Amino acid sequence: MSADMKARLEALIETSKDNTTELDKISTRIAGIQSKIEPSYMDPENQAQLTQLLQISDVVAHRVLQQRILEAIAFGDMYRRFETVEEAHLKTFRWILDDDVYEDDSEKQDAKKLFTNWLASGSGIFHISGKLGAGKSTLMKFLCEHDRTEKLLRQWAGKKPTALIH
């Protein structure tokens, strides 16, 4: 992992800690408002505004929960392994993501189609296996750093945010 990428990720984590505190405050305030309001006494316009505010509360709660999960699984050396994996040779794994790569190997073409379809619209786990030293970690690093991976994941996520950092 490059120093720039590591610095951006650390900055993101720091920013999210500040956001978590603010989101907690907002969520607490909205919960207080919810407990004191009786919608049956409101005109339709105010009810619509309250409904919109309550939806924001759900979004805030979801973001706070996401941040807490990320903080819980983070640890100091979590990028050490990624950083020790060698960069793939320029052409080694292009076949799995690049459309302009002509490949006579039908097995690779089938694997490419399965993988890119899974990234763009799949569910569950895509299992990659191989012998020791076969290049699984190098492939993962290549995929993490390739722009097309993020593009396909954004297609899969739709309007939901993605968190692939490269």
What's the rounded Cα separation, in Å, for the pair 140 and 30? Answer: 42
Mean pLDDT of 128-141: 92
Mean pLDDT of 16-29: 68
Residue range 90-118, pLDDT digits in tens: 788 888 888 766 667 788 888 889 999 99
The answer on pLDDT for 67 being more than 60 is: yes
Q: What is the pLDDT of residue 166?
A: 43
pLDDT band at 127 (very low <50, low <70, confident <90, very high): very high
pLDDT band at 74 (very low <50, low <70, confident <90, very high): confident
Mean pLDDT of 47-59: 69
Q: What is the mean pLDDT of the chain?
A: 78
Where are the domains positioned within the chain? 3-77, 85-157
Mean pLDDT of 68-77: 83
Mean pLDDT of 49-76: 75
The answer on pLDDT for 143 being more than 50 is: yes
Q: What is the pLDDT of residue 81?
A: 86
